[in-house]
Structure 1
Amino acid sequence: MTRQAKRPLVLGVTGGSGSGKSRLASFIKEGLGGRAAVVCQDWYYRNNEGTLGADREALNFDHPRALETPLCVKQLDALLAGRTVQAPVYDYATHARRAETREVAPQPLIIVEGLFVLHEPALRRRLDLSVFIEVPDDMRLLRRVRRDSVERRVDLEETLRLYERFVRPMHQRFIAPSSKHATWRWPQLEEERFKARLLSLIKKKLVLT
């Protein structure tokens, strides 16, 4: 029986904000010629449309409760059963879910990437392999500053406020401890070598080599 006729292989990719989760997921997908589907936890942020003033400033997007994890798990299960899903699209500028959705079709490899992939037991149980990307705090902060400025229209002062109030303490409370569940803890100094080894291993498991 071929892998396509079996349950897909599920890879979890996690690490702190700015660690390079999305880049690693994209690298693997491209290395497999597109034969991978990516499910991003960020898609499942709860709808905060209409939240204003002090309430908006108090939104903590670095706490597991900010995400609708049951929906993420439900859609992951659908992909594992061979069904296409309509995943939500989150607007970081308005903190609301958009009306449109993104179609995700099942593939031999499903990559689940996000901050809390290894923190959430329901997601962790569905993983076959997992990677925790370890990047120094200062480097992750620099990457977040660049990303927020270019992609999310957030100025430097706001990025630093969020980092001090939410990002750093939530990383220490939830994300860093979850690394103990990882198949591999990836020190980024070995980036290219590790990426090549990981891709080779996945290809072998998928019988795609």
Structure 2
Amino acid sequence: MDLGQQEFERILLFEHARKNAEATYAKNPLDVENLTNWGGVLLELSQFQSTRSDSIKFVKVAVSKLEEALEINPRKHDAIWTLGNAHTSLALYTEDLEDAKPYFARATQWYQQALDEDPGNQLYMNSLELSRKAPELHTEFHRQMSSQQVVAGGSSTSNTKVSKKMKNSDLKYDILGWVILAVGIVAWVGMAKSHIPPPPPR
């Protein structure tokens, strides 16, 4: 299976999960697990948008769903952690590092709060550690993006442009990957938990 087909299937999977979350929300807007999963799915879908502004819109809607979940249950650590991922994504989508720094700072606060709620969680510890290095990633990410756009702009052949676009996309996945992969795992585990039958009565 080629990369394009895999990406297409991932988009379909997350679109299906988004529609399910919307339907569940219509029936029960107070379902914290559903709101958390919905936020995670929107964060996943943000990486497939064709423009940065569209990606940011998806992340902002994800933030609103996660904040809604935390209004119902302020101690839901996976929602808190996913909110940290959303702020990290917003920071990475923001071109100017000075403008991105408040998002990074907020992400670090959310990661710390998630770890406070679930001490010893290795994923939360790793996220907190990575959030301290995030401004360096931001600088490198945007430096690479700029240099690739200059190279792509200087070429007149469509093959080179496609190649540069693919490399640009690969870099985006590398940097956002740790955020998005982890969110996907949490969303998947959350969906799996919501479909586990209750234990038999004793």
Shorter-chain TM-score range: under 0.3
Structure having the higher strand fraction is: 1
Q: TM-score, normalised by structure 1?
A: 0.27
Q: TM-score, with normalisation over the residues of structure 2?
A: 0.28
Higher helix share: 2
Higher RCO (C-alpha under 8 Å, 6+ residues apart): 1
